[in-house]
Structure 1
């Protein structure tokens, strides 16, 4: 159950990052390429920061001491 919650948070973070990146690129067309690169970096960071909590949640779900 904890793993599902952690996955939900990661997916929610990706959706928010995508929405903000799209809105920024739409609002400032001259910087569209840079904005999309920054958004991609934010999405990679979201996944990277979610790996540790997800691994701990999976260990707890399996009954292994984290």
Structure 2
């Protein structure tokens, strides 16, 4: 009985979600630790989250193309 491999698209999506969770947690911790800079810290965290998504677009597109080829 052959095992069905996990689609690469799912793996890449999980990587993006994990990056967003880590960025949000680090931003929250930094804002909690330094309340005077909370607004700036959250803007920087939002920038990091946007960068995480943008950096994940290329690998996600390649993974989707790979999954379509195999289907």
TM-score by length of 1: 0.95
Task: Structure 2 unaligned segments of length 5 or more: list them.
Answer: 1-6
TM-score by length of 2: 0.89
Cα RMSD over matched residues? 0.9
Larger radius of gyration: 2
2: CA distance between counterparts of 1:51 and 1:3? 11
Task: Structure 1 unaligned segments of length 5 or more: list them.
Answer: none
Structure 1 runs, 4 residues or longer, greater than 4 Å off: none
Aligned length: 64
